[in-house]
Amino acid sequence: MESQGEWPAGILTVRMLARHYLNMMSIREKIACTAVASPVVGRFAPSPTGALHFGSLVTAVGSYCLAKRAGGLWLVRMEDLDGPRVVAGAAAEILRSLEMLDLHWDGEVLYQSQRTAAYEAALERLRKGGHVFPCACSRKEVLASAPHRGEEGPVYAGSCREGLPPNREARAWRMRVPHQTVAFRDCLGTHHQQCLASEVGDFVLRRADGLFAYQLAVVVDDAESGVTQVVRGADLLSSTPRQIYLHHCLGYAVPCYAHLPLVLAPNGEKVSKRHGTIALDDSNGGKLIWQALRFLGQQVPEALQAAPAREVLFWGVTHFDMTQVPSAEC
């Protein structure tokens, strides 16, 4: 056993240094907790390609309850970046549905279609940092040259990574990904990892048609809105490692991610707007909230099925238990 008396005055043993370090870490952690005592900021980000359906309602309810249970803010963003897919009037209809369900958001609604300058600035930062490169490949060429398929399709072969081929012009801008595995544990306690190079490849940030890709837009929007908690469907789980990597390259803080189980149609497909929207009226909002909470594993009392939406939401905010959410499988 070491004793302090065996050492000259002013000399600390390894054990003493370790104890001192741990004590200092504890102090620093307490200071850090005080410094970052700002509220949780969650968000709901639907695509206005149609009215609200039950799958998107589940995400809205889950993200709302988790943010509000932490005493935080809940933002709404319209992901209307892909203009050709946007349905006229859908954004307003979604907002009306949220209001009827007493899912009231904080601040102003953000529209991605109005954020082009922010995405351009972020892409320029990535250019200056050497993280992106221009690509001349067509979709057909990418398919033909792909070494294998990844989680979301053919993995880009890197044809333009070291420069454009002679007499070819850039069609898109791609993110240069490392041979690195991005691992994270989401808010629900599940561990995930993905090797960017082998499972995704260099991915597009600005498309050939000039539109910014979802991966860049969502990272910039979350960071600039101060989002700290991203709650969404498990179908976006494979996007999360790319977004975490983008956060790091842009110098943004990485939010905590939670991936909720998907609502599936009878044929096993993810429920979407083509499977039908929710039949919402003044009398059934509470029951819809109740069904969404039950789908998320929450033990909502049967008696609340007939209660107003605000009462069911109050129960959800005060009782939501992350450990009861079913495992998210894509």
pLDDT tens sequence across 212-222: 999 999 999 99
Inside any domain, residue 24: no
Alpha carbon distance 225, 41 (integer Å): 9
264 CB neighbour count, 10 Å cutoff: 12
Place of tokens 């959800």: 316
Place of tokens 């990844």: 150
Inside any domain, residue 19: no
Tens-place pLDDT, residues 295-311: 999 999 999 999 999 99
Inside any domain, residue 5: no
Contact 227, 64 (CB under 8 A): no
Share of the chain above pLDDT 90, in %: 74
Phi-psi region of 234 (alpha: psi -120 to 50; beta: other; left: phi over 0): alpha
327 pLDDT tier (thresholds 50, 70, 90): confident
Range of the domain at 92: 41-324
Phi-psi region of 69 (alpha: psi -120 to 50; beta: other; left: phi over 0): alpha
Inside any domain, residue 182: yes
Would you call 110 exposed, middle or buried from its count of C-beta atoms within 10 A (0-12, 13-18, 19+)? middle
Inside any domain, residue 6: no
Inside any domain, residue 73: yes
Contact 263, 271 (CB under 8 A): yes
Would you call 167 exposed, middle or buried from its count of C-beta atoms within 10 A (0-12, 13-18, 19+)? exposed
Is the pLDDT at 168 greater than 90? The verdict is yes
Inside any domain, residue 330: no
Is the pLDDT at 23 greater than 80? The verdict is no
163 CB neighbour count, 10 Å cutoff: 10
pTM above 0.95, yes or no: no
Tens-place pLDDT, residues 228-286: 999 999 999 999 999 999 999 999 999 999 999 998 866 556 655 554 566 676 668 99
Q: Is 163 helix (H, G, I), strand (E, B) or coil?
A: coil
State phi, psi for 328 to the nearest 5 degrees. Answer: -90, 120
Contact 259, 233 (CB under 8 A): yes
Of 22-31, 55-64, 118-127, where does mean pLDDT reach its minimum? 22-31
Tokens of 314: 């109050």
Alpha carbon distance 289, 252 (integer Å): 34
> For the chain, what is the domain count?
1
Alpha carbon distance 5, 199 (integer Å): 57
CATH number of the domain to which 95 belongs? 3.40.50.620
Share of the chain above pLDDT 70, in %: 82
Inside any domain, residue 34: no
Handedness of CA 78, 80, 85, 91 (dihedral sign): positive
What are the residues facing 230 on neighbouring strands?
43, 257
Alpha carbon distance 210, 236 (integer Å): 23
Predicted pLDDT of residue 190:
87
